[in-house]
Amino acid sequence: MTGAIGRVLIAAGSDSGGGAGIQADIKTVTALGGYAMTAITALTAQNTQGVFGVVGVEPDFIAQQMRLVIEDIGVDVVKTGMLHNSAVIEAVCDVVEEYDLPLVADPVMFAKGGHALLEPEAVATVRNRLTPLADVITPNLPEASALIGRPVETVDDMAKAADALSELGAAAVLLKGGHLDSDVLSDFLYAGSNISRWDDTRIDTQHTHGTGCTLASAIATGLAQGMALKDAVERARSYVRDAILGAPGLGKGHGPLQHGHTVSAYPAVC
């Protein structure tokens, strides 16, 4: 470990709107005092209203990005986001295994507006290749449903889904309840025999673009800084909630968070 800094290598796609993906990841890691490095897996043309185009990066080049920063700067934790097809997933997993690095896996499958960000046949690769490598996997309910092959819609479903995801090999599962049909949202962390639960009142806002990317990157930063998993999750959840509450209200659709709220004491330059 490097002490309090925390080196996080993010393998994920770029969001031209700046609210999710690599852009949200870099903002989050930086705002929490870590050092962010990137292996960009895809370019997306998107804004707050949706995703309008995706251009993938060659898997060999993704792996090259990863190896170069690992061997020079060093990496404490890898965080994955949008890995859009099986070849990309395999390339990233090969590097994680080669260097035996801790992994926070956010199994990104859909954009906030519903656009698919993972090829359907690659779900099995996420299930069988990425998940078993993860120190913690952070699916939302639709992603958990896809991974275990059955609906996950209620709090009771979440407990069974977490068990199923653990059986796939993930060391820990943070199952996010943002898609629950309730005013109270529950998140569950299953880490072996230890189960933690957090309940929060839903924030009535459409400005939640990038919450999943942000949460996973915040957790990765905490782990990279030497925090225990539960402590890293608690700090990450608090960071994300404050970022939603402080959202700047940009765009005509699902707007971005206020990732910089931890450093907002600095006045804007007029």
Computed from CA positions of residues 148, 149, 153, 155, in that sequence, does the dihedral angle turn out positive or negative? negative
Give the residue numbers marked as catalytic. Answer: 176, 208, 210-213
Burial (CB count <10 Å: 0-12, 13-18, 19+), residue 7: buried
Q: Determine the Cα–Cα distance for residues 242 and 226; give it in Å rounded to an integer.
A: 23
Is residue 148 one of the residues assigned to a domain? yes
Res 268 pLDDT > 70: no
What domain range is 241 assigned to?
7-263
Task: Give the pLDDT of residue 270.
Answer: 46
Is residue 128 one of the residues assigned to a domain? yes
Task: Give the pLDDT of residue 3.
Answer: 53
Is residue 150 one of the residues assigned to a domain? yes
> What is the arithmetic mean of pLDDT over 98-125?
88
Q: Determine the Cα–Cα distance for residues 157 and 192; give it in Å rounded to an integer.
A: 18
Strand pairing of 50-56 and 77-80? unpaired
Is residue 270 one of the residues assigned to a domain? no
Task: Give the pLDDT of residue 1.
Answer: 40
Tell me the backbone φ, ψ of residue 208, rounded to 5 degrees.
-130, 20
Task: Give the pLDDT of residue 264.
Answer: 72
Is residue 183 one of the residues assigned to a domain? yes
Count the domains in the chain.
1
Q: Would you mind telling me the total number of residues written for the chain in this entry?
A: 270
Is residue 268 one of the residues assigned to a domain? no
Is residue 68 one of the residues assigned to a domain? yes
Q: Determine the Cα–Cα distance for residues 266 and 270; give it in Å rounded to an integer.
A: 12
DSSP conformational letter for 121: G
* Four-CA torsion 101, 102, 106, 108, nearest 10 degrees: 10
Is residue 181 one of the residues assigned to a domain? yes
Structure tokens at 77: 């934790």
- Return mean pLDDT, the chain: 92
Instruction: Find tokens 């949200």 and name the residue.
Output: 24
Res 112 pLDDT > 80: no
pLDDT one-digit tens code per residue, 149-175: 999 889 888 888 888 888 899 999 999
Confidence of residue 10 (pLDDT cuts 50, 70, 90): very high
Confidence of residue 192 (pLDDT cuts 50, 70, 90): confident
Percent of the chain at pLDDT exceeding 70: 96
Query: Which CATH number characterizes residue 125's domain?
Result: 3.40.1190.20
| C-alpha closest to that of 74 among 35, 113, 122, 31 | 35
Res 136 pLDDT > 70: yes
